[in-house]
Structure formats: C-alpha cells, structure tokens
Amino acid sequence: MEGLYQPPPLKRTVSHWRDILIALVATGTMFYLWIGVEGAVYPVLLGALAIVVVMGFDRPAIPVILFVIFSFLRVHEAFEVLNPWKIPQTLALISIIMVFWHLVLARTMKPFWTRELTIFAIFFLIASATVATAVSRELAYKQWSDLFSKVGLITVIVAWTTRTPSDFHLINRMFVIFGSAVASVAIYNKLNGIGLVEGTRVTIGRATGSVLGDPNDLALALLFPLSFAGSLIISRVNIFDRLLGLVGFGTIFAGIICTQSRGGLLGITAVLALLGSRFIKSKALLITIGVVGVIGLFAVAGISGRQSGGAAEEGIDESSQGRLNAWETAWNMAKARPLTGVGLANFAPNYFFFTNDWDGKPHAVHSTWFGILAETGFPGVAVFLTMVGATALVARRSLKVVDSRDVDPRLKTAAVALAGGLASFCVSGTFLTQGFSWPFYMIFAMTVALSRVLSLDQPEEPALAADLPPLPARDTAAEANGSIPGQALQPPRSATFRLGASAP
C-alpha cells in the first residue's frame, strides 16, 4: 500500500570466519617454514613495521610511542637480534611521516599550546644555547643532535598525538609489556652471571657499550614502566589489564632489585607510596609503612653485600662519598659559569678542572638537579625546577578531576600512572642522572596531553543567550490563586498582528 512506512530490507550478514581461518593457517604455515631458515626474523619484522604504518594512519601516537620505547628502554640492545635493524631510526621516520600526514595533509591533528609547553620551550632554548657556550662545543653538539633535539621534538609530538582514552590505554600496555621484556633479560643475566658489575649488580649489553650497561641507568629505565604496571593493578578497566599489571609489576620489580641501585629502590618506594595513598588515608601509617618498606627493600636487594656502598665499608662508603664529591664539583662549575654552565655532556670531561678531590678518574654527577645546574647554569636549573613544579600541579589537578567526576577508567589509570612516574622521577632523580634523557619529558608530555583531554571532556554548564532576558521568577502565590505566572507580560490582543496583515 502506498503512503505507508515500509521498513528497509534486512541486510544479510556475511561471516568472514572461514577467510580468517584460512589466513591464520597460511600465516602459520609460512612462519613454520621460515623458522628454520637463517634470517627468518626479517619477514616478521617487516610485517610488524607494515602493521605499525597502517595503524599510524588511524592513531599517530602508536609509532611515536614505539620510537620512545625503543629509544628509552633500548629494547633492540636488550635483544641483540634486533640491533642490526636500526629500529629506532625506522620508527622515527615513520613517526615523522605520520605526523606530517595528520598535521598537514589530513588535518586530523589539532595542535595546541599551554603554559607548561611554554616553560618547556624556554628550557629547551636555554639548554640548546649551551652548545655555543660549552667548554667543548663538539661534545655538546653531539649530545644535542643525538639525543636532546629528538627529546625536544618528540615531547611536543607526544603531547599532540595522545588524544583519546584508547591512546593512553595502549601506551600504558605497551610500556608494561616492553618493560617486562627488558626486565626479563636483566633477571636472566643475573641468574646466569652475565654482565655483572662489582660481582652482584646486573647490567644489559655492557660488552657492546649499551646505555643499559650501567646498573643505575638500567634501574632508571625500568622505573617508568613500573608505575604503569602499578596503575593497571588498581585499575577498573578489565581483568586482563589487572593480570598484565600484576605480572608486569612483579617482573619489573625483580629486575630493579637485581640492579642493586639505591636510587632505583627509592624510586620503587615512591611508586608504592603513591599507589598506597589511594587506599591509605592516614599519613602517619603511610609513612611508617614506607620506612619499613625501604628497609625491607634494601635487605632484599642485598645492598649490604655490594662491593661499593655495602656494609663492609665503615662511615661514609665510597659510593656515597663519590656522589658528594660530584655534587660539590657541579656546584663549583655553576659558580664558575653561572649563566650557561659548562654545556651539555661536559660535566665528566671537565671534572678534573673543578673538583676539590681528584681521585684519578672523572665521575658522573649522579643527580638530575646538580647535573642540570652544572651544564646549564642557574637559569637552566631554575626553569627546569619550574617545569617540574608545573607538571606536578597539573598531575595533581588531573588526579582530582578523575576522582571527582565520572570519567573513563582508562584516563583514571593514566592519571595514577603519570603521578607515580613523576614521584619516582623526583625521588630517584636525586641520585640518578636523567636530566636530559627521556623519562621526565615523556611524563611531562603525557601529563599535558591528559590535562587537555580531561578539560575537553568537561560537561558544559547551560548558559542563557546573550541577547535574551532572564526568565521571570516563579510566583507561587499567584499559582495558588489560579492565575498564570507571567500573564501580565503578554501584550493585549489588540496589539498583536496576524501574519501578512498590515498595521492600522
């Protein structure tokens, strides 16, 4: 019958399970045939990179974060089979292409700027300017071009590309998975006596000159994934994430313990303290548990058995005395060059000229704060401390927002992870050198991105139009007498005009 609503015909759904099964069988067969051939890993890596490219067109944060993970955790150095493939450089190229696509061609990425990014830009300019004023310009430029310039660029890109709860959730999972993989290598080396320093402290890739060849740097690299794993444990997303967080936390925790790094153990304490503060409201009880926990961690890690900093040394041990001497040397550098410092990567080469206690070899500064003071001067450390403080305020505000509003649980998990990562950085950074490396700047970028997402997710308050008067107050007395409120505001019938009628 014409004129009656006719429902649209039902679409026949087509099942693709047979196609999926055929594809899986074919892929498995090819992998089985390749597994016994030399160089069989190459097709797998090519396929993985192709997947990253395809996913990057939809979510540009994926190749960017993978580049950060490989550059920061040095996954390709932990697994030597990946080292010849130049994976960080490949991911960097893919990241640049994806960002150009989304920012210029597709215009799906919306750049933004905040007060925190302005502070970061000022610090980046101050640190970059030291290349021209450094004692050794060659060393400063090499450090800037190899590392810090990439850190500066990727920091802004991470803040712009991390845009949705799914992005934060994926980043959380990836850091836990790759952090657990690196920690597993550390545990394996410890059990098999590979690359041990001072007889008991584990390293990774020390023979090949890896960044993870220093136990303190290895502990530092694992602290950031530890905070993400801890946040997954207490998250309310799903049971898979809780299991992933539990397994990842245990593995990464054991990996840091194997390094016997005191800064790493203090970083663990900071992460646990922040996670505990989500459940324990009594500060006295939390502090008591923290003190007992620190003592227990030092006992479990076997710090007393270390050749340097162990119980065999009386008074101030050699390791602690070396740190104190390095901090004094950093202060001497800042006093001698207060505006610019000695320049990037110039602390160790100039140690002899500024130290009051030369023992025949230069030392690392073993402190983020003193390292920045020595290499960028008083202006640099002042701006850096301002940036850390601003990041802490934003992280604290984000925690309050996710606790007071009904937000996506994935955002709440990210807020806890970033706050824990910042706490571990501030504590461990006092004893570990990480002023110009990835950890803090990734925490900073993701904290800024999270604050942006939470601000855009805020419900808007209803507002009156600018040119409309407010509604009249309700007259309850008039309603009781049977009259209609607001009736006096209506014009008399004689003053109204019908549509199309002319005025008398």
Taking only the tens place, the pLDDT of each residue in 75-121 is 988 988 888 778 888 888 888 888 899 888 888 888 999 999 999 99
Query: Are 75 and 181 spatial neighbours (Cβ–Cβ below 8 Å)?
Result: yes
**In three state form, how does the secondary structure of 33-64 look?**
HHCCCCCCHHHHHHHHHHHHHHHHHHCCHHHH
Residue 381: enclosing H or E segment and its boundaries? Answer: helix 368-404
Alpha helix (H) ranges present in 302-317? none
Query: Are 165 and 410 spatial neighbours (Cβ–Cβ below 8 Å)?
Result: yes
d(CA 14, CA 1): 31
Output phi, psi for 457, to 5 deg.
-85, -5
**In three state form, how does the secondary structure of 316-350 look?**
CCHHHHHHHHHHHHHHHHHHHCCCCCCCCCCCHHH
What's the token pair of residue 371? 């390292």
pLDDT digits (tens, 9 = 90+) for 253-266: 999 999 988 888 88
- Contacts within 8 Å (CB) and 24+ apart, 106-113: 109/60, 109/160, 109/161, 109/163, 110/160, 111/160, 112/160, 112/452
Please enumerate in sequence order all residues whose Cβ is within 8 A of that of 319, keeping only pairs 6 or more positions apart, or say none.
306, 308, 309
Closest by CA position to 411, among listed 278, 242, 270, 235? 235
d(CA 123, CA 87): 29
pLDDT at 41: 63
Q: What is the C-alpha radius of gyration for the chain, rounded to an integer number of angstroms?
A: 29
pLDDT at 138: 94
Query: Are 334 and 341 spatial neighbours (Cβ–Cβ below 8 Å)?
Result: yes
What's the token pair of residue 418? 């970033």
Q: What is the DSSP letter of 357?
A: S
Average pLDDT across the chain, whole number = 82
pLDDT at 377: 95
d(CA 36, CA 325): 55
Q: What is the DSSP letter of 302?
A: T
pLDDT at 227: 93
CA 425 vs CA 93, 151, 430, 434: distances in Å: 29, 17, 8, 9
Query: Are 219 and 263 spatial neighbours (Cβ–Cβ below 8 Å)?
Result: yes
Q: Which residue has the tokens 């054991």?
A: 254
Residues of the chain with pLDDT under 50: 309-315, 460-468, 470-471, 476-480, 482-504
Closest by CA position to 431, among listed 342, 387, 369, 381? 369
Output phi, psi for 201, to 5 deg.
-95, 125
Please enumerate in sequence order all residues whose Cβ is within 8 A of that of 359, keeping only pairs 6 or more positions apart, or say none.
325
Please give the model's pTM, rounded to 2 decimal places: 0.79
Residue 331 neighbours by CB distance under 10 Å: 14
Apex CA 90: angle with CA 85 and CA 93, to 5°? 165
CA 463 vs CA 124, 460, 468, 472: distances in Å: 41, 9, 11, 16
How far from each other are the two terminal CA atoms of the chain, in whole angstroms? 51
d(CA 359, CA 377): 25
Our measurement of the distance from residue 287's CA atom to the centroid of its chain's CA atoms, rounded to an integer in Å, reads 26
Q: What is the DSSP letter of 419?
A: H
pLDDT at 320: 75
Query: Are 63 and 95 spatial neighbours (Cβ–Cβ below 8 Å)?
Result: yes
